[in-house]
Amino acid sequence: MMRKTMNRVALIIMIKNPVLGKAKTRIAATTGDEEALRIYKLLLDYTRKVAEATSVDRYLYYSDYIEDDVWSSEVFNKRVQARGDLGNRLRDAFSTLSKDYDKMIVIGSDCAGITSNHILTAAAALDNSDMVLGPVHDGGYYLLGMNGYHPELISDIEWSTDAVTSQTLSKAESINLSTTKIETLHDIDYHEDWLTYGLETEKH
| 33 residue type, one letter | D
Name the pLDDT band for 1 (thresholds 50, 70, 90).
very low
Render pLDDT for 9-30 as a digit per residue (tens, 0 to 9): 999 999 999 999 999 999 999 9
CA quadruple 118, 121, 123, 125: dihedral positive or negative?
A: negative
> pLDDT value at position 204?
47
Render pLDDT for 120-133 as a digit per residue (tens, 0 to 9): 999 999 999 999 99
Assign 32 to helix, strand or coil: coil
* Axis-axis angle for helices 33-52, 116-125 (nearest 10): 50
Q: Residues 128, 147: contact at Cβ < 8 Å?
A: no
User: Could you tell me the strand order of the sheet in which 131-135 lies?
Assistant: 76-80, 57-62, 9-15, 103-107, 141-147, 131-135, 179-181
- How does the average pLDDT of the chain come out, rounded? 95
> May I ask the CATH architecture of the domain 9-197?
Alpha-Beta Complex (3.90)
In the chain, domain spans: 9-197
CA quadruple 13, 144, 40, 30: dihedral positive or negative?
A: positive
